[in-house]
Structure 1
Amino acid sequence: MSLFLRYEDMWDRALGGTTDEKQIPHWFANFAYVLIGFVFKVLFRYRVDGRENLRAFKDRCGAVVVSNHTSFLDVVLMYVAARPSQFVRLMGRDSLFGNAHGLAGQILSRVGAFPIKRDSADRTAIKRAAHMLKGNQLVGILPEGTRRGKGSKTPEIHSGAAFIAKMGKAPILPMCVREAENVKRKGERMHFPKITVEYGKPLVVSDFDFLPKEDRLDGCSWYAMREVFALHQRVPREQVDMVALFPDGRDFTEVFAAHPIPEHTPAEAIELTRPTKKAKAEQ
């Protein structure tokens, strides 16, 4: 049992999935889950709704899990909510891995996280993520890129999640975290609200092929985030005010009102993304 491994070795290894490739040793990830999961259960009484939508992908297909981002806790909950039977390979900004003289990088890499260069087309990270998906692993992405309501940066939707899902031949699974934003509000003491994680219905990237080629990834990512905020606000998707949420972004509301995207069960999404030999023969 090795205590220290090179970061790059862990980024290029598997963590879960069905691949025959060498795995990151599971002992640290299991220890972290037990410890953090217990603490979060005590402090936040967190619960997970719709987890069957995530479990349906286990050993059958990879998936890109996308979520809202209002707190550092969102990332932790994305990881904890999938355990104990699944791992989520979290994609995080590269600067995090050098913190605490590299100790943060060792910890993050041990639990399956890997870096991406911010505000750039990081081909290495994209290829890693697509390779993980093809090995039936889960990849977690926060398309807003930065925490909402923290700092002066205007929220925007990055289309990387749709691009990675397309490359990795995997569905996108919307997820939300509720109440994490209320744990620490500026100028106030810490609060310990009940936190809920909820998974929605999966999306299939090919359902957006009706859009012009240059709009497909943006449209797919926009739609996925609308699903996330519909879960978060507990309202029908049509009631989510995406202009208010992303004032500087393109609004696809009228496009999807005229061309509704079909809902899929996880089994249907898997079949549409990676059709079996029988299904291919019937096409």
Structure 2
Amino acid sequence: MNLYSFAKTVVYAALKPIYRFEVIGAENFPKEGGILLCSNHINALDPPVVGINAPRAVNFMAKEELFHIPILKSILPGVNAFPVKRGMSDRDALRRAIKLLKDGEVVGLFPEGTRSKDGTLGKGFSGAGFFALRGEANIVPCAIIGPYKPFRKLKIVFGEMIDIQPYRDRKASADEVTEVIMTNIGQLLDQYKKSK
């Protein structure tokens, strides 16, 4: 068992009794090919929660500062995290994400860029659309529906895959593709918040 699988097992065992995960739509997740997994962002635990409930291993960007912490700098690469410099255009991180997508991997992204303070879906940054277009990857929208309260149900909904090829064929902008992603996440939130 590699470090990713081990960490996924341990974190799942630790969080599952507390947050009572309900995973919906796992069958929508393609078994192969590059996938940009885009989710809303409501809690600091979102990356591990999405990662342990996704059917495939997910690569996440993590702020560079974390890689300077002695324990984390040896663990993070093993759990498919790679560094990104915040507040500037980090070309190395961009290239890494695009290469992972082209190599058929899954890259997880929170297009809002920061956690929502009130739980509502914010505006997505164009980087999400950029990654999908440049990485030649299809998109799986994801909705995390809280609240993050002990012993309350936490839904993780994977929506139907968005085929990026038609947008690539007509040279759609990154902003347009990001808008499509956010609309899909919003529809998942609306649909599954109503169904308790």
Partner of residue 268, structure 1 = none
Does residue 73 (structure 1) correspond to residue 50 (structure 2)? The answer is no
Q: Distance in 2 between matches of 1:173 and 1:132?
A: 16
Normalising by structure 2, we get a TM-score of 0.86
Does residue 224 (structure 1) correspond to residue 181 (structure 2)? The answer is yes
Q: Distance in 2 between matches of 1:177 and 1:121?
A: 27
Q: Secondary structure at the match of 1:234?
A: helix
Q: Distance in 2 between matches of 1:175 and 1:89?
A: 15
Q: Distance in 2 between matches of 1:47 and 1:97?
A: 32
Amino acid at match of 1:197: I
Does residue 43 (structure 1) correspond to residue 18 (structure 2)? The answer is yes
Q: 2:125 aligns with which of 158, 177, 182?
A: 158
CA contact 2:63–2:84 (8 Å) conserved in 1: yes
Q: Secondary structure at the match of 2:66?
A: helix
Partner of residue 29, structure 1 = 4
Q: Which runs of 5+ in 1 are unaligned?
A: 1-25, 184-189, 236-283
- Classify 1:144/1:105 alpha carbon distance in 2 versus 1 (closer, same or farther; 3 Å): farther
Partner of residue 91, structure 2 = 123
Q: Distance in 2 between matches of 1:43 and 1:90?
A: 23
Cα deviation for residue 209 of structure 1 reads 5.7
36-45 vs 190-199, greater mean Cα deviation = 190-199
The 5 A counterparts of 1:135-214 are 135-149=103-117, 155-179=122-146, 182-183=147-148, 191-208=150-167
Partner of residue 36, structure 2 = 64
Deviations 1:225-261 (A, max 9, x none): 12112112217xxxxxxxxxxxxxxxxxxxxxxxxxx
Q: Distance in 2 between matches of 1:218 and 1:50?
A: 26
The 5 A counterparts of 1:100-111 are 101-111=69-79
Structure with the bigger RCO (C-alpha within 8 Å, sep 6+) is 2
Partner of residue 60, structure 2 = 90
Q: Distance in 1 between matches of 2:138 and 2:160?
A: 10
Q: Distance in 2 between matches of 1:205 and 1:116?
A: 25
Cα deviation for residue 48 of structure 1 reads 1.1
Cα deviation for residue 210 of structure 1 reads 8.8
Q: Secondary structure at the match of 1:77?
A: helix
Cα deviation for residue 27 of structure 1 reads 2.1
42-51 vs 198-207, greater mean Cα deviation = 198-207
Amino acid at match of 1:141: L
Amino acid at match of 1:129: A
Deviations 1:136-187 (A, max 9, x none): 110001111111107xxxx5421112211212211111011111xx32xxxx
Amino acid at match of 1:92: A
Q: Secondary structure at the match of 1:202?
A: coil
Q: Secondary structure at the match of 2:33?
A: coil
Normalising by structure 1, we get a TM-score of 0.61
Q: Which runs of 5+ in 2 are unaligned?
A: none
Identity %: 31
Amino acid at match of 2:135: G
